[in-house]
Structure 1
Amino acid sequence: MTSLTSSASFGAALQAAHEAAGAQHYPGGTLYAVATPIGNLADITLRALHVLQIADAVACEDTRHTQQMLRAYGIERPAAQLLAVHQHNEAEAAQAVVARLAAGQRIAFVSDAGTPGVSDPGARLAAAVRAAGHRVLPLPGASSVTTLVSAAALVDDAGGAFVFAGFLPARGREREAALRLLAAEPRAALLLEAPHRIEALAQSLAALGARPVTVGRELTKQFEEIATLPAQELAAWLVAAPQRTRGEFVLALHPLARPAAGGAEPALDAEAERVLGLLLAELPTKGAVRLAAQITGAPRNALYARAVALQQAAPDA
């Protein structure tokens, strides 16, 4: 979190929250999924502050972290009103939350940062609450994913559409399979990564060659850094400055390049050419093109056009 840790800083915000949101209806027997800041405490909404004050209990990913956050806003909660709901106990803890909702309580749920249920815990809790017939009421706010999207300029013919991949699998084969799918995905793709694995991810993404990637590090915090560069240069960028491998990361793979209408196909880089040539020696054209696209991230249409050109130029057997 940012250095805004004095509850006095938010006294006016709490009053504004009461005046702006207090007259709205907040039914009992409801789970309130509350988005919280991803780094800068000032990125809280007035409605979130109000609900965190009036809720009968706050379910949270880490009780100590949430207690610190609440106190920064000037909100005091006894330990008994903080319920631990994290990835290791979410299914079991959900039943305790459901029991409180059945008794008519308002329960706010927060993750350590951002919007619950996106990559943090919350999805299983929301499913259990809905299955029990209770309402889940979302309070929108900060999200590392949409924060990076707003700055990454992910513009293409699809109007900026993107897919959310989250954290890739940590294991070798599953991770390689996920990376192959990303390489073949024509839309932009959003990834999350922890600091201890960011260099390994950068090395894996190097296979995408010149495909642009926007990396967001420590978003909304004092040392926030956002950079766009070719995927093949990401590993070198990270190690160019000691602080760049620290903090939390969000990455956006930009859409695969599309040729302009009536224009020439985009040129393939050397790695895509090499992979395509090797595959064409062993496989039919369509199969070689499909695998080359998955491995290199190069556009299929460009690969196919190049494959046809190579075959036409080859001497007769």
Structure 2
Amino acid sequence: MRPILELSNVSKTFGRAHELATILRDVNLTVAEGDFVSIIGYSGSGKSTLINLIAGLLKPTAGQAMMDGKTIDGPGPERGIVFQNYSLLPWLTVTENVRLAVDQLFPAMSVQERKEYTAKYVDMVKLTPASGKYPKELSGGMRQRVSVARTLAANPRILLLDEPLSALDALTRATLQDEIADIWHKNRTTVIWITNDPDEALLVADRVIPLLPGREGATLGPEISVSIPRPRMRNDVLKTAEFKDLKLQLINTLIGAKKDSGATVTKKLAAPDILPEDLAIKRHTSIFDRPEPRRRSQLQREELKIEVS
């Protein structure tokens, strides 16, 4: 059986010939219909670049990205994407934002059918009571629910989630993780979820694949299979030895890859302890013949030697 999505030796480079930067290198990924895959990596490692390649918003510099055996040559409704920001039209209500996608993709439906179809997806994300509200009247979690509903209403074969909950507080994030996982469980739409949170990756997905940094670009590491039964009750799963072992394995893989890549941590530099020039040296009046400012300890030792004019 042919997989729904295949990436074969995909690399992506940005910049001009004399200053090229390779973000991704030799990425290989196979996703079957109905899979729930989570790709996890450090911020800035190329996760969004990868999801944009799958969405057709970018083209590989080398290698092939294919869906159903055909090269992905641009965006399409069969690959719906939910971005980190909400991407809602502020002058449209919840229903109207979702209906926008429905009107564009299903013009053959009658007005009543589109109305009912839209209402189904608004209800799916538990926003029926807020269906007439505008984005400015919604919380961050509610706005992202609208974005998810709009994408699902397009009936994509692959749902791409680019860190969709990263801007939310921990409690709202946990709630939406469970709700999106529940929607997948009921609909079995193929999902690729990008994240930088190990707990999130292991709680929602059946396959977790680390994106490992390297000196010549990031690449996908060995996947971790998550066989924890669904539905996954968060409070129970977090306490299990299986979850803890998988999390330790995932974290060690990511940390080890970062060390091997030679990544360095930028240190913050403390400001030197220097007195203002006008307090440090008073006998020099010209800005051209003032000595360099001296550290406070040195000035304190020499302050009695300074002649004040």
Report the TM-score when normalising by structure 1.
Answer: 0.27
Q: Larger helix proportion, structure 1 or 2?
A: 1
The structure with higher relative contact order (CA 8 Å, sep 6+) is 2
Report the TM-score when normalising by structure 2.
Answer: 0.27
